[in-house]
Structure 1
Amino acid sequence: MPDKQEGTAQDSIGAWAKRCYFAGRDVMDSVLRPHGLGSVQWYVLHRLATVGPVIQRDLGRLLEIERATMSGIVATLVRKGLVEQVPDQADQRQKLLRLTDAGAKLWTTLPDLSFIRAVAFGGMDAADIETAIGVLRTATERLESLLEKGNRP
């Protein structure tokens, strides 16, 4: 006899949100692979190219990446010569990240990834998209609040 819970879990909003996220990330990775980049490396380069230098710790928080993971990503980008780490002038203990000339040049050659959003959501009703965003935002905020309060069900 099939488990009703299993079927429900596979069709849940959380399962579909996760599948959509991973599918988008897989497309992104496949497009970036010929350029020697992964999606998280792209996010670091995107931030540095569009906003400018940033403290490594702050970027990790912004991208919600564990400290050790962020260190590995940055080390890889530094090794590739795309990013440089320098001590922050205001706080020498902090590492300031900025694009190198090679990183800036690579950035200009990377494909525009906005097609991923267009493929995923193109032709959908704007109100439906806003509703989905609202539902996911509210659910996320509730769960984050639960964690912040140290509550457990």
Structure 2
Amino acid sequence: MATSRTDPLTLEVVELIGTVVARYYEEYEQAAAQHSLTGAQARVLGLLSLEPVPMRKIAQKLKCEPSNVTGIVDRLESRGLVERRPDPADRRVKLAATTPEGRDTARRLRDSLDFAREPLGQLTEVERALLRDLLKRMLGEDMA
């Protein structure tokens, strides 16, 4: 059953999502500043803490220009949080990767983000799984 974009329930859900996103970004920017990082630097550091990533993939993931990513990685590298290394699969490609200090900073940053964690902690595991699945579905990532 299709819903109208002007359906009151749809409008309420859109407003609530907007409020959650705005509060998350506000806290994220504050947490990043406590580590002398911009929000964009913190997002790149968090992404790289999972695994080394080619620069172009960082730009795709963050939906920004590759030149912006180069500047962000340059600043993180100058602080000793990130390093560039050749991709073992294709030595022409440069991977950005966290240093041990970068991984530690990313972990401390993640640990300081209470806004998202605390409200989610009030939901049961079943409710969190349902919310995750609904969000994935909204993003077109639903598991078939």
One fold, TM greater than 0.5?
yes
Question: How far off its partner does 1:137 sit?
Answer: 2.4
> Cα 1:140–1:14, aligned 2, differ >3 Å: closer, same or farther?
farther
Q: Distance in 1 between matches of 2:76 and 2:15?
A: 32
Instruction: Name the TM-score, length of structure 1 as normaliser.
Output: 0.64
Matches within 5 A, 1:119-134: 119-134=118-133
Conserved in 2, the CA contact under 8 Å of 1:9 and 1:15? no
1:3-35 residue CA offsets vs partner (Å, 9 max, x unmatched): xx9895994323322321221121122122121
Secondary structure of the corresponding residue to residue 31 of structure 2: helix
- When residues 6 and 141 of structure 1 are mapped into structure 2, their CA distance, relative to the original with a 3 A threshold, is closer
Q: Give aligned pairs, total.
A: 136
Indicate the residue corresponding to 1:65 in structure 2: 63
CA offsets, 1:33-73, max 9 Å, x none? 12112344223323433x34232223334x34323343332
Name the CA distance, whole Å, in 2 between partners of 1:111 and 1:12.
29
Q: Give the TM-score normalised by structure 2.
A: 0.67
CA deviations on 1:84-103 (whole Å, 9 max, x unpaired) are 22343443432211223543
Give the Cα separation in 1 of the matches to 2:137 and 2:10.
21
Q: Which has the higher contact order (CA 8 A, sep 6+)?
A: 2
- For 1:44, the equivalent position in structure 2 comes to 44
Gap regions ≥5 residues in structure 1: 143-153
Match of 2:99 in 1: 100
Separation of aligned partners in 1, 2:56 and 2:80: 20
Mapped contact 2:45–2:102 kept (Cα < 8 A): yes
Measured after TM superposition, the shift of residue 125 of structure 1 is: 4.1
Identity value in percent: 22
CA contact (8 A) 2:31 2:113 kept: no
For residue 60 of structure 1, what is the amino acid of its counterpart? A
Larger Rg: 1
> Residue 66 of structure 1 aligns to which amino acid in structure 2?
C
